[in-house]
Structures are given as structure tokens and as C-alpha cells.
Structure 1
Amino acid sequence: MRAKYVLILLIIFVGTSCNTKKKDKIVKEEFKEVSKKQDSIVFSFTFLGCNRVDRHQVGDTKATNASTANLSAMKRIWTEISDLKRKPDLFFFLGDMVLAESTTTKLENQLIAWKKLYYNTSFSSISKSNIEMVAIPGNHEMLYWHDYNVPHHDEWPLKGATQIWMKHMAEYMPKDRDYVKGNDSINNQMTFAFTRKNIGFVLMNTDTYNSPTKENPYGLEGQIPTQWIINKVEEYKKDSKIDHVFVLGHKPYYVSGKPETGHKGFPEGPVLWPKLVENKVVAMLSAHLHDYQRMQPGNKGTYQVIAGNSGSPGSATFFGYSKIDIMSNGDVKLSSIGYDKGNPYYKAMPNSPSTVRDETVLTWSKNVNPYPNN
């Protein structure tokens, strides 16, 4: 009789144990699913700049066509972005997409040719990908270059460039954008702001046109509507519906960890940057330098990310694009993806796979994962 009771108790224990293990397994699986949901991407965008060829290579048919873009790099990068499993919601092109930097005729012809490539589905499917393309100009679209005898200064505002850009590139500017109004609105049409989900984007034309004066007979490069940009950043900061703010422009303020107010950067950097930090802007995203750099000036706060490594010759060791994912748990994840640059720089590199070259979470406190050499 005692043996019968022992057997019943053993069966109850085993059954209970199995049920407990089954329940534990279910709980663990549910936890994994919750974790997945917590870490899911709620918004994603890519950004890059500087794809134009070198002025000495413009006649090389291996490198380019009438667009003056580095064709092999452009085709590969556009195709890879279009083929991403989780496609980005936005694609920012941060200037120097064409060589130009000479006359409005050349600028116009090159932009027309660039657009033909964008819509040519045999070249790339980017235009059919449902990714929103947003473009702003760089110095090669806004300035002209000449060997005048002016020390350390050989680029000046190109009259008419603003009108050419708006004629051909306005379709790559959001219809719901806010922009500079008032007396100087014509020259500031390419500085604007807009929101997507819980993110505020402020885009700067870092070479806004300004007329020659007695003091500056050729005009000045590197001009921005500083106060409008600051006001928009402060407005977004106060908006309870906006959790993340990004400022984007062709020219950066910090290069290799140092502030730049000359041709490498822009004069208003010392005024603008403290306001970005004060209003907890996540990052300034730029190009201009033909390289990829990530830095966090002062080891805290706002980041400067330079993604000028999409095809132009220079110091970059890899060509590609950068991506920011806004996660459902609030993290802001940055990735830079690319392949080894060829020699010459416009050489296709089919045997060099695109891999993640930098990856981190953009934390407001000191980033524990600094990018090498920055």
C-alpha cells in the first residue's frame, strides 16, 4: 500500500516538474519575443555625401558620364541600400553629388544627368524602393572654383546656383518642410526642417549664396542662416512629441576632433555648436571631407559624424554609406557600412564585400566605443 502512495506522489512530482519546465520554456520564449519587440527598429535613415569624381578625372569614361558621379560606387551603394531587408525610411544625400563648381550651365547639365541615373531602373532600383530621398547641396553645387591670386581662398558663391538647384532638385525636398521666410528667403531655400515620427531634422545649406561686397569682392563661402537654425532646434527641443533631433549639412564643424571655421568647416560653427549641445541635438551629420569619421567633442553630448566616403577621391579607405536606426527602446544606433576602396578610386570592387566598419549606440554620456583615430 505504501509503495502505491509513493508511486502516486512520484507521478504527481514528475507531472508538476514537467509542467513547470514547460511553463518556464513558454515564459522564456515570451520574454525573447518581448525583447525582440523592445529592440525593433521604429525608424531608419541613411546618409552620405561626396560621390563626384575628381576634376582631373572627369573625362575618364571608366569613372563617370555626364553626371560626373563615380558610377561604380553610386550604383553599388544605391543598390545595396535598396536591397536592405529593413529598408530605410529616408535617404539623405549631403551634397557634392556632381563636380560642377564652375558655371551654372555645367551645374544644370550635370544635375539633369544625375537625375536620369536616379530614375534609370536598369542602373539602380532606388527610385522604386519607396525610400524617401532628401538632398541638400554641397560646395560643388553652390560655389565656383578659380585660381585667383587670393591667399588660401579659391572658392566663391556662384550666382544663379540656388535657382538651378531649386529648378531641378526641389522634388528631393519634403513638401511638408518648414523653411526660412522673409527678406532673405530666396537665398535660403535649401535650409529647411521637417519631422518624421518622433524625430526632428534640420537641414542646412552650408554654402548659402551671398552677394559680393566692397569688403568681400567675391562673396563668402560657408554661410548659413544661423539664427533660423538655432530657433528651429530650440522649437524641436521644446516639442514633447519629438525625442531626437538631428542637424545635417554638407560641411561639418568638427574634423578629426578639431573645430574648423575655414573651407573645411564653416565660420558660424562656434556660435551654432554650443546651441546644439545645449538643446541635446543627437548629432550633426555631414560630408565634405572624403572620409568617414565619428567623434564626440568633449567626450560627451552631441556627436559629429562625417560620411563623405561615397565615391570621391581622398583619405577614405572604404566607400559606402552610414545608417541610423531609432529603436523602440529609445536607443539611437549608428552603423557605417562599406567596401574597400579600389585603386584607382573609381575601380569596381566586386571581391570586397560590404561590411560594418563602425557600429555604436549614440549615448549622451561618454561613448565607451570611440571610433578609431577620432
Structure 2
Amino acid sequence: MIRFNIVLLTVLLTSTIFFGGCDKHNKKKPITSGNIEVVKDSAVFSFSFVGCNRVQYGDWHNDSATNVSTANLSVLKRIFDDVTTLKQKPSLFFFLGDLVLAESDTINLDTQLKAWVQLYEDKAFSTISDSGIELVAVPGNHEMLFYNTKDDKEYPLAGATSVWMKYMKPYMPTDRNHITGNDSLVNQMTFSFSRNNVGFVVMNTDTYNPPTKENPYGFEGLIPTQWIINQIEQYKQNPDIDHIFVLGHKPYYVDGKPETGHKGFPEGPVLWPELQKNKVAAMLSAHVHDYQRMQPNGEGTYQIIAGNGGSDGPAAFFGYSTINIMSNGEVQFISRGFDKGRPYYQDVPENVMQVQDSTTLTWSKNANPYQHN
């Protein structure tokens, strides 16, 4: 009997069980076994994210690649199907922009976003809309800008904000905080909200600004910087919030280097030090058609680029990423995906969807860096 009790106690002490739950303050949960306290570490809250699924211009009318939505259909379906069958199903799924090709005029944007929503809601395509996972849609440059052939640059598209809200407002949290006053209509797609013990600040990294004498087409890459910083500081001071994430289509760091041009956004040098100061866990982005995980300062806030959602580019694999908030306070990160086809929109069911990268997002220097291609 003594030997049996020792074996049983050993099993209890070394077992780790993962299951869904709700622990607002993200503390260890002691489970009493006789006079011994055993901490069972579990995922108490999860969310997933990805961006950049639209096809290329030359593939817009290719029936094997897409439909009116301009989404890369085979990849989008695999991502949606996989996320809905996870054992630890996420509560939220952030789509970080470039859902559609657009980037021309509001007519194309309207047509394509309408088709994308119909696709998302189509149970014959995927059951994600009926899975209980909350979709949070974030605009990208292909939804917010137009491409100017005269100088080969992108500029704010007048009317894009109204079209986005027309179709995507149902996929924005109803309890979100957002900018009020004179700038409220322009900044509708920048907001904050919390779930469990996590604070989210979502940025529209291509906020509309009108033409001026200095910028006759407007200016690319603007964000309401001070409002974003204020929201981060409020979450930092909130005792109920243990983790803060900032999300937006465009990243600030790419390949380990700061970007203030088209690859990034001009206010990055102002915003990033505030993320570090307030111990933001990570900035989660897309835009670059690649998967990258880095800790730009060598420690502290992470920049994760999940632009490997199906658009053509350097990504070695297509997929999505998930963050699990653990009951012991750790932040578990997992990126799943499959080797992409040739061409990029080819359906490749033989290429297995599997874990491509995983780590714990430590504030100190991560001992498990990701070497991207």
C-alpha cells in the first residue's frame, strides 16, 4: 500500500493536463492531494491569428485558385478546418488583413469583401462561422489603399473605411473601446478590448488621411499613435490584465530590421519603445508574405509576422499561429502549417498540416529562436 501511494503521488506531481477553462487572474491553481499541493498547468485562454490570403493579380480570374472573393480557397479552407478541430480550440481568430485583392477602387473592394463574407458563412466551405470561435477582422493595405500606376506606390483609398464597416463590422467585438469625437469615423478600425486576463489593442495600420498640398494622394501607413499608447498604458495599470498584445496588418520589424516605409509604418520608432516600456508581450502582424518570429531588442517584446496565410511570397509553409495563455502564467506559442504547393494556390492535401514552430514567449532572451528562411 505504501508503494502504491508513492507511485500515485509521483504521477500526480509529474502530470500536465491541457484543457479549456477560465482563470481571469492567470494564477496557479493548487489541487490538494492529501497534504500535498499539485499544480496542474492548463491553457486557460487561446487565440489564433494569420493574414495575407489573397491571390495575385494574374490569378484573379483563375477558377482553380479563387472565386469572386479573390481568396486562396484551398489554403483558406485548410486553415479554417484545422483551427476548428484543435483539441484546445481558440476563443478568437484574428484575420490580420489582405483578405481580398482589391487595392484598386471601392467597387472591387465592395464586391470582393461581400464574396469573402459569403464564403466565410458558407457551411459547405467551412464550419468555422458555426464553431463558436469569434472572428476579429483587421484591415490590410489591400483593403485600405489603392495602387497608383503613375508612381508605382500605394495611397489611401477614399471610401474604403465605409466599405469595410459595411461588411466587416459584425466581425469586430461589440464591447470594443474605440476613438470618439471628430476622428471617430476615420479610426473605426483601431480599437481595444479584453478577454479573460488579456488586453488586445488592434491597429488599422493604413488609417485614411486626405490629400494635402504636400501629399497630393494622402500618406500611407498612418496610425492613431497616442490613442494606442494610452490604451496600452491603461491595460498595463489594470490589475486584471496580465498580458497585452498589439495587432495590426503591418509590422515594424522585418527580418530583424525596423521598417518605416511600405513594409512597416512611419510611427514604428515612436510606438515600439512604448511596447517595451509597458511589457507588451508581442506585436502580431502580417503584410510580409512570410512567417517570422523574432525578439528585436534581444529580450522583451516579440515581433511575430504571420503573413503566411496563402498569398504568394517567400513563406516556406502556409498556416496560422496560436497563443495559449497558461494557468501558470506562461505564454505558449505554436505555429502550424504545411509545405505550400507549386503554384502557391495548388491544393496539396498530401502535405501534412503540423507544428512548424513552438516556444514559450519569455520576456528574457528566448533560448529557442526561430530561424526563418
Relative to the length of structure 2, the TM-score reads 0.93
Offset of residue 28 of structure 1: 1.8
Offset of residue 144 of structure 1: 0.4
Change (3 A) 1:310 1:34: closer
CA distance in 1, matches of 2:332, 2:306: 15
Q: 1:41 is matched with which residue?
A: 43
Tell me which of 82, 92, 95 is aligned to 1:93.
95
Q: 2:8 is matched with which residue?
A: 26
Q: 1:108 is matched with which residue?
A: 110
In the TM superposition, 1:56-95 aligns within 5 A as 56-95=58-97
Offset of residue 38 of structure 1: 2.9
Offset of residue 33 of structure 1: 4.9
CA distance in 2, matches of 1:227, 1:87: 34
Offset of residue 323 of structure 1: 0.6
CA distance in 1, matches of 2:89, 2:66: 27
Q: 1:120 is matched with which residue?
A: 122
Q: 2:285 is matched with which residue?
A: 286
2:293 aligned partner, one-letter code: R
1:89 aligned partner, one-letter code: S
Offset of residue 318 of structure 1: 0.5
2:49 aligned partner, one-letter code: F
Instruction: Please give the per-residue CA displacement for 1:321-360, whole angstroms capped at 9, x wherever unaligned.
Output: 0010001111101111000010000001111101111110
CA distance in 1, matches of 2:222, 2:241: 28
Instruction: Please give the per-residue CA displacement for 1:220-260, whole angstroms capped at 9, x wherever unaligned.
Output: 01000000000000000000000000000000000000000
Offset of residue 373 of structure 1: 4.2
More displaced, 169-178 or 78-87? 78-87
Unaligned runs of 5+ in 2: 19-38
In the alignment of these two chains, the number of paired residues is 353
CA distance in 1, matches of 2:133, 2:267: 32
Unaligned runs of 5+ in 1: 1-18
In the TM superposition, 1:131-280 aligns within 5 A as 131-149=133-151, 154-280=153-279
Instruction: Please give the per-residue CA displacement for 1:279-319, whole angstroms capped at 9, x wherever unaligned.
Output: 00000000000000000012100000000001000001100
Offset of residue 69 of structure 1: 0.3
Note if 1:371 corresponds to 2:373.
no
Change (3 A) 1:34 1:124: closer
Q: 1:12 is matched with which residue?
A: none
Offset of residue 84 of structure 1: 1.2
CA distance in 1, matches of 2:325, 2:333: 9
CA distance in 2, matches of 1:318, 1:214: 44
Note if 1:354 corresponds to 2:336.
no
Instruction: Please give the per-residue CA displacement for 1:1-36, whole angstroms capped at 9, x wherever unaligned.
Output: xxxxxxxxxxxxxxxxxx220110221233245776
What's the C-alpha RMSD, in Å, of the aligned pairs?
A: 1.2
CA distance in 2, matches of 1:298, 1:244: 19
Q: Conserved in 1, the CA contact under 8 Å of 2:291 and 2:372? A: no
Note if 1:304 corresponds to 2:286.
no
Q: Conserved in 1, the CA contact under 8 Å of 2:251 and 2:283? A: yes
Offset of residue 146 of structure 1: 2.0
1:54 aligned partner, one-letter code: Q
Instruction: Please give the per-residue CA displacement for 1:143-164, whole angstroms capped at 9, x wherever unaligned.
Output: 0012113xxx510000000001
Offset of residue 83 of structure 1: 1.2
1:115 aligned partner, one-letter code: V
CA distance in 2, matches of 1:170, 1:93: 13
CA distance in 2, matches of 1:247, 1:221: 20
Q: 2:328 is matched with which residue?
A: 329
CA distance in 2, matches of 1:103, 1:183: 25
Which has more radius of gyration? 1
Q: 1:129 is matched with which residue?
A: 131
CA distance in 2, matches of 1:39, 1:347: 40
Note if 1:50 corresponds to 2:52.
yes
CA distance in 2, matches of 1:373, 1:108: 36
Structure with greater helix percent: 1
CA distance in 2, matches of 1:373, 1:290: 12
Instruction: Please give the per-residue CA displacement for 1:30-50, whole angstroms capped at 9, x wherever unaligned.
Output: 324577663211000000000
Q: 1:13 is matched with which residue?
A: none
Q: 1:7 is matched with which residue?
A: none
